[in-house]
Structures are given as C-alpha cells and as structure tokens.
Structure 1
Amino acid sequence: MSQLSTLPPSRVALPLLDSEVLRTFVTIAESGSFTRAAQQLCRTPSAVSMQIKRLEETLGQTLFVREARHVRLTTEGEVLLGYSRRLLKLNAEAVTQFLAPTIEGRVGLGLTDDVVGRILPTVLAQFARSHPAVQVDVEVGRSKDLLVRLDEGELDLALVMAGGPGQAGRGEIVHSEPLVWAGREDGVAVQRSPLPVTLAQQGCAWRRITLDALDQAGIAYRIAYSCDHCAGQEAAMLADLAVTAFPKSLVRSPLKRLHNESLPPLGDYQVALVKRPGVGSASEVLAERVAEAFREG
C-alpha cells in the first residue's frame, strides 16, 4: 500500500487545476466546438483534446457530450464552468495587481436604471480592487440624457437601451433578452379595459415597444402610472394598478410573467455599451470588464 493511501483524508493533497487548462475548457464551452476553440487558442485540436482528457481524468467526471458537429456540457461540466470562470477572473485580478502597469485616472460611467443591479455589486467592486488608483464616478439616468452627457465629454462610458426613439445605432450590443408582460401574481389589472400600463417617460425604448405593440394589436390602454425608475414601475405592479413590459430577468415574485393570450408579443430588449472617442486606458479596461460581465451572464 502506498504512503499516500494510508494518510487520513484531511491530509491527502488535492490536485491543483491549471489555469491554462481551465481557459481551454471555458473556450470550448463557449464556442461549442473543440476545433473552434483550438483556432481561438492557437493550438492544435489534438492538444486541446488531450488537455480536456487529462482534466476529466483528474476530476473523475465526463465534462462534455461529444456530438457530430457540436459539443455540449454535461451537468458536471456546467458546475465546473462556473468555478472556472471565477478562478480565471481571480487569477487575472491577482496578476493585474502585481504585474500590470498601474492605471490611474477618472472614468465617468453612465448607467440606466435597469442595469444598475447587474453592474454595481460585481463589476465595479472587482474593478475597484484590481485598479484602486482609478476613480469611477457613476451617474444613473435615461439613455438619451446619458448619450448627451457622453457627447459633451462629461461621461466616458454609457450603458444605454439600444434602439431608443430617434437614436441611431451606437456602441456595442452587450446584452439582449426578451421583453415580457409582467404584473402581480394574483392581480387583476391585466383583465381591465382599457388596459392600465405603467411606463417610463417619452424617449424610453421600452415605452415605444410597448405602445407600438398595443397599437398594432388594437388593444385599448391607458397610462396609469409614469416613472423612469424600475422600482417605481414595480411598485405600480405590486399595487395591481398596472401591467408593463419588463426584461424577463427582472421579473421576480410576487410579480410574474403574464401569459394572457390577448397581450401582443414584444420582441427583445438590448443594452449597448457606448464609449466616448479617445477615452483613456482606464476607461478601456473598465469597458472590457463590463462587456465580459454581460457575456458571462
């Protein structure tokens, strides 16, 4: 019997996961193909396959289901994907802290109300740890107002709703999800006629999408509550005063997605990241962190 096998479980050294292997694993999971991953990583397909084989042997789990032209994660692979992304991000933070050139300066970041919860607790906290010499000033407002401030040089980056009224396509689309009808779980507002809706003020992409859909479906409605903040619209729905169009991910109990057959489909809602021309390195790094956070969901 080997010396290792006689050690109590608490003293057996667990294997360490190699960050390069985890990077390969994540790239395959995101591209859905060993071949595409090999191209992105500038490696041969056989080298990529060998890395995954060794990783599976180390963990004693099958991580991918191999199909004809595609691979997909097993249940165990889905679990590892979350850990891998966090480990790689932590590794990048550690390396940046000690090896990357010090980045200093100020970044003016504009956010719409619907993305504040997605960005502030995670991305900005991590960015503050990895780049403590950068001051990030955050302003929350309406998309059209943020774009004006960006064009005037008062903001460096802005996360705005894409496709607002009179808004030309700008920036990089970093997030897309369905808009759905939402209301109180036990509410009756959806049964009223005319349909009471809660909306933001003029200039909001959700407002245009909602009203266009109702007009095209020939549904009578009245604007029962107007507020530019998601919290205000949620309050109107919680009070069962109105229903509205909401991004699917923001519908949380005691609100629910409404499946009333009389309500028209709404399409997708998109978030664009817009950069002011000529922004500095601090803004570029933060922009990449923001885009990465949306890609990872």
Structure 2
Amino acid sequence: MNKRPRCFDLDALQSFVTGIELGSFAQAAERLGRSTSAVSAQLKKLEQQCGVALVEKSGRHLVPSRSGEVLLGYARRLLALNGEAALAVGGGALSGPLRVGMQEDFGERLLPAVLGAFSRAHPEVQLTARIGRNAELLHGIAAGELDLALCWQWQQSTPWMASLGAVPLRWIGAQPEDAARFRDTSTPLPLVMFEAPCLMRSRATEALDRAGIPWRIALESRSLQGIWAAVSAGLGVTVRADAGLPENLYRLEAAALPALGVAGITLHQGNAVLTDAALSLKSQLCRELALRLNPAV
C-alpha cells in the first residue's frame, strides 16, 4: 500500500515563514494575531511531519536549519500560490485600468510576488506598473497618473498616504571588511549614491558629519542598478535597506560606521476613493509587506 503523502497546513507554514523572517516566533505570533503557544505548536507539528528540526539558535535569533531552508522556499511558493488562488476565486470580476508605481528597492521582490500574481488572477484589469524614485512617483500621484505608489517616507506628503511601517537602513559594501578598510585610510570615505535629493544620501552624509568622518561622493547614479554595480566594483559604500539587496553585496559592521536609523515606508493613493481593483491590490501589497519587511519601529 502506498504511503499517504504529507499535507502541510498553510497556517502552520505561514507561522513558520513569518517566524523566520522576523527572527522570532513571539513576534510572528503578534504579527499574525495568534498566541505564542499556538505558533509554537504549529512549528512542532511541522517538525514532526518532516521528521527533522526546522530551526536552530544563532545568537539571540532563530534561523532555519538546513532542512528548514529547503522547506522555507517551498512554503513561500505554496503561500504565494494560495494567495493567487484566493484572488482568482474571490474577485474574478475585477476590471478596468490600474496604475501603480514603486521604488526600485521594492521592485525585485514585490513585482513578481504581488503584481504578477494579481495580474494573472485578474486578467480583465489593465495593470500598468512604473518603477522610479520618490519625486517621480509622487508627481505621478499628484498629476493623476498613478492610482497607488509605494515610496520611502521623507519630505513630501500626499492627502491620502498611509504608513506601512519602517525598516533599518544599512551600510552596504562589496566585502564584509569594507567599512574598516575604507576607514583605515586617511582619505574621505567614498560614497556611492543617488543624485540629490535622496533620503539615503542625506542620512549617510548627516550621520558621517555628526561622527566627524570625512566623506566624498565617489559615484553619483540615476539608477539603483548603477549603485549596485559601482559598489560591486569596489568604488565605495552605499546606504540602502535590506529590500532587494543583491546576494554578492554585504551589510557592513555597524561598529565601524555611524548608525543610520530607520526609513519609513508609505503607500500613496491618487484619490480618496479607490476602485475595487485598486483596493484589492492595496490590500495585497500591505499583506505582502507585513510578511516580508521587518518593521523596526
């Protein structure tokens, strides 16, 4: 007789993924509106089904074991597919134009995870996406060219903006020792930055000025890909959030460079009343960000 295949519980997989992404199952329980004991029981059930430990301690945080890393990839795919199926079954009548913009930092992860799934689930919606910087996206909101825009929170505001939390800013370099390597020299710290005005650029230069660390702009770019390429080439260090960080670059040790604080994330909308399609996508964006980004405040 064939052995019955394992059927993983989606709620348990959601708790597992959230716990790993937050580094704490107590925080996962709070995020998901469940008790800590319920989340712990779900994790234990998953480990019993798999027959192996899925998490292990790393300092004060929990990280996935080797088997946990394998399950994590499948769990994310299963949850994404479940969300896509729920959209398709629950809201197939959505239609009409929908224009959304987002910062480059969010594009790599949220475009396939949210916009791709939304487009497949609602083929009657004419979805148009724009990747850009804050000023461009907020101009699109003000001019009525965008229905929704996901931005970094900085100087500008719009009438119907909503805060979605905050994420820590990081010093980024091509090698883990870049902070110490550049600081060991008598020359100013080389920075790779967007053209001004830029939130990350301002945070970096203000923090360095407060710490009395000399700096210079080694490369000024109009695109995030240009920044990543210049940092990879060893031209200097930059400041970004973890969202979209390439695998070949490193978060630098905070001890060598001044703290940068956090960056808020805001969702702007072009009108007080959104279409059904825009409301559905807004809800999906908020859920996805809540799971993927670890709020620092």
- Partner residue in 2 for 1:120: 111
Counterpart pick for 1:145 among 125, 136, 144: 136
- Partner residue in 1 for 2:230: 236
Change in 2 beyond 3 A, CA 1:284/1:63: farther
Larger deviation, residues 274-283 vs 243-252: 243-252
Query: 1:266, CA displacement in angstroms?
Result: 0.9
Are 2:190 and 2:215, in contact at CA under 8 Å, matched by a contact in 1?
yes
3-state SS in 1 of match to 2:229: helix
Counterpart pick for 2:101 among 97, 100, 110: 110
3-state SS in 1 of match to 2:169: strand
The count of aligned residue pairs is 271
Q: Distance in 1 between matches of 2:225 and 2:47?
A: 49
Are 2:102 and 2:130, in contact at CA under 8 Å, matched by a contact in 1?
yes
The superposition leaves residues 201-247 of structure 1 with CA deviations (integer Å, 9 ceiling, x where unpaired) of: 22321111111101111222122221132211122223322222122
Counterpart pick for 2:220 among 210, 217, 226: 226
**Counterpart of 1:171 in structure 2: which amino acid?**
M
Change in 2 beyond 3 A, CA 1:283/1:170: closer
Are 2:80 and 2:113, in contact at CA under 8 Å, matched by a contact in 1?
no
Q: Distance in 2 between matches of 1:29 and 1:194?
A: 42
The superposition leaves residues 61-104 of structure 1 with CA deviations (integer Å, 9 ceiling, x where unpaired) of: 69999xxxxxx999688976765664454344335434534100
- Partner residue in 1 for 2:22: none
The superposition leaves residues 225-274 of structure 1 with CA deviations (integer Å, 9 ceiling, x where unpaired) of: 21132211122223322222122454445433333745211112332222
- Partner residue in 1 for 2:10: 22
Counterpart pick for 1:174 among 133, 152, 164: 164
Q: Does 1:292 align with 2:287?
A: yes
3-state SS in 1 of match to 2:268: strand
Are 1:196 and 1:223, in contact at CA under 8 Å, matched by a contact in 2?
yes
- Partner residue in 2 for 1:204: 198
Q: Distance in 1 between matches of 2:228 and 2:43?
A: 49
3-state SS in 1 of match to 2:93: coil
Are 1:182 and 1:255, in contact at CA under 8 Å, matched by a contact in 2?
yes
Change in 2 beyond 3 A, CA 1:26/1:247: closer
Are 2:101 and 2:148, in contact at CA under 8 Å, matched by a contact in 1?
yes
Q: Distance in 1 between matches of 2:36 and 2:237?
A: 52
**Counterpart of 1:269 in structure 2: which amino acid?**
A
Q: Distance in 1 between matches of 2:51 and 2:171?
A: 41
Larger deviation, residues 101-110 vs 166-175: 166-175
Q: Does 1:282 align with 2:277?
A: yes
TM-score by length of 2: 0.72
TM-score by length of 1: 0.72
Change in 2 beyond 3 A, CA 1:116/1:89: closer
Q: Distance in 2 between matches of 1:214 and 1:53?
A: 43
Are 1:107 and 1:136, in contact at CA under 8 Å, matched by a contact in 2?
yes
- Partner residue in 2 for 1:183: 173
Of structures 1 and 2, the one with the larger relative CO (CA 8 A, separation 6+) is 2
Structure 2 unpaired stretches of 5+: 20-24, 56-61, 293-297
**Counterpart of 1:135 in structure 2: which amino acid?**
Q
Q: Does 1:256 align with 2:256?
A: no
Q: Distance in 1 between matches of 2:43 and 2:206?
A: 53
